[in-house]
Structure 1
Amino acid sequence: MKKLLLSGILAAAGLTSTMNAQIQEGNWIVGSSLVTSNFGLNTGAGYDFAIQPKAAYFIKDNVAVGGYVNLGFMKPGKGEATQFNYAVGALGRYYISPGEKGVDNLLNHGRWFFEGNVGVGGTSVENGISTTGLDFGVGPGYSYFITPNIGVEGLLKYNGVTGFGNEGLTSKLSFNVGFSIYLPTSKGRDIVNDVK
């Protein structure tokens, strides 16, 4: 019993220290947010689906920069307008350290972060509004590490597209749920070499 308790304590301590190592300079983060997925089961019911793959490199501890792609398609139902969303651009993340600015970690196995993005994108509704131009977004999130290298994430984000089209600005507030894989630089090199 004592060995089991000691093993549990060491594993928890190892997870906490490894979690901090994953957001250090030189490491990578790769993941995706599933903004929404809804498939109607009734006759004539609609569906919507959106995915946001992203990758970033930690330029210093707690600070990652990278890129993202957004693709979304929504068909509300029979006879209703189809909507298509798309974007590509740069993103940045800042992870808050434990105790920093009075913000403590939730459950000691995760990190709060802020994410911002800017790029080119658009929203198009069949026979309706359309906007193409600057795609931008900002919001807080939380990554809960289920293993030392995998985090389940929630992100509350304001997203907008401004520019050209029959609507100057389209915007929305979204709650994204997804996952991220945190790779040390050496593991990232191994994956790239395996692909070659």
Structure 2
Amino acid sequence: MKKLILSGILAVAGLATTANAQIQQGNWLVGSSLLSSNFGLNTGGGYNIAIQPKGAYFIKDNVAVGGYVNLAISKVTNGSPTRFDYAVGGLGRYYLSPGEKGVDNLLNHGRWFLEGNVGIGGSSVESGNSTTGLDFGVGPGYSYFITPNIGIEGLVKYQGQAGFGNEGLNSNITFNVGFSIYLPTSKAKQVARDVSQ
């Protein structure tokens, strides 16, 4: 019982931290952007589903580096060929501090950030067209912390792909909505140590 009460106190103490605590050196970010999803409601309608799991480590306050994976499947109409998109690579994030020049933090429980990525990606269509090449993107985002360790995120991103197959350069602007979990390394170790005693 003593261990359970101690763990509860540590969890409540963790909830009392500010938005700055999540983005400090040594913490981890794990999350996913739901890039897009839609389903045709008409007869013969298609679908488009995409997800981007990502993970990063804060190498210093406000700066995280890590990796991502893009997976998407789409079909324009029921009779059209299915398209599969994929990518894997590295990403970086820089969180803007509320006091920085030109930064106006709209909400006290959130932070603006800039995200960039570069990696290998491509697409494959049932009809035989395929391409593989450089996958890259950059854009601003905002993370609103619904708890001290969980953020709901919006990200507007220029996403491009320079292919070496049937397609050359293609690009688009995406609006991504997702979530991230911020894991403080020190608190996780402390709770694990306290529970094991």
Question: TM-score, normalised on structure 2?
Answer: 0.84
Deviation at 1:44, TM superposition (A): 1.4
Count matched residues. 180
Partner of 2:179: 179
**Pair 172,191 (structure 1): closer, same or farther in 2 beyond 3 Å:** farther
Compared CA separation, residues 75 and 187, structure 1 to 2 (3 A): farther
Find the residue that maps to 1:138 and give its secondary structure. Answer: strand
Aligned counterparts of 2:165 and 2:152: Cα–Cα separation in 1: 36
Misfit runs of 4+, over 6 Å: 190-193
Aligned to 1:124: 124
Specify every segment of 5 or more residues in structure 2 that has no aligned partner in the other structure, as ranges: 1-11
Mapped partners of 1:192, 1:65: distance in 2:
25
Give the letter for the 2:111 counterpart. Answer: R
Within-5 A mapping of 1:133-152: 133-152=133-152
Farther off after superposition, 183-192 or 130-139: 183-192
Shift of 1:168: 1.4
8 Å Cα contact 1:131/1:169 also seen in 2: no
1:126 positional shift: 3.8
Question: Partners in 2 of 1:71 and 1:192 — Cα distance?
Answer: 34
Deviation (angstroms), 1:131: 2.6
* One-letter amino acid of the structure 2 residue matched with residue 161 of structure 1: Q
Alignment-mate amino acid for residue 97 of structure 1: S
Q: Which amino acid aligns with 1:31?
A: G
Shift of 1:150: 0.6
Distance in 2 of aligned mates of 1:187 and 1:91: 25
Q: Cα deviation per residue 1:148-187 (whole Å; 9 max; x = unaligned)?
A: 1110000000111113012211111100000000010135
Letter in 2 for 1:50: A
Q: In the alignment, is the contact (CA less than 8 A) between 1:116 and 1:139 conserved in 2?
A: yes
TM-score (norm 1): 0.84
Match of 1:42 in 2: 42
Q: Secondary structure at the match of 2:101?
A: helix
Distance 1:59 1:71 in 2: 27
The equivalent of 2:69 in structure 1 is 69
Q: Shift of the alpha carbon at 1:66? A: 0.3
For structure 1, the residue ranges without an aligned partner over 5 or more in a row are 1-10
Number of the residue aligned with 1:94: 94
1:107 match: secondary structure: coil
Aligned-partner Cα distance in 2 for 1:179–1:49: 17
CA distance in 2, matches of 1:58, 1:138: 19
By how many angstroms is 1:137 displaced?
A: 0.6
Q: Which amino acid in structure 1 is aligned with residue 28 of structure 2?
A: W
From the superposition, tell whether residues 141 and 81 of structure 1 become closer, same or farther in structure 2 (CA, over 3 Å): same
Matches within 5 A, 1:155-174: 155-174=155-174
Post-superposition Cα deviations, 1:96-138, rounded to whole Å, max 9, x if no partner, equal 0002122121111100000000111002344375431111110
8 A contact 1:131–1:161 mirrored in 2: no
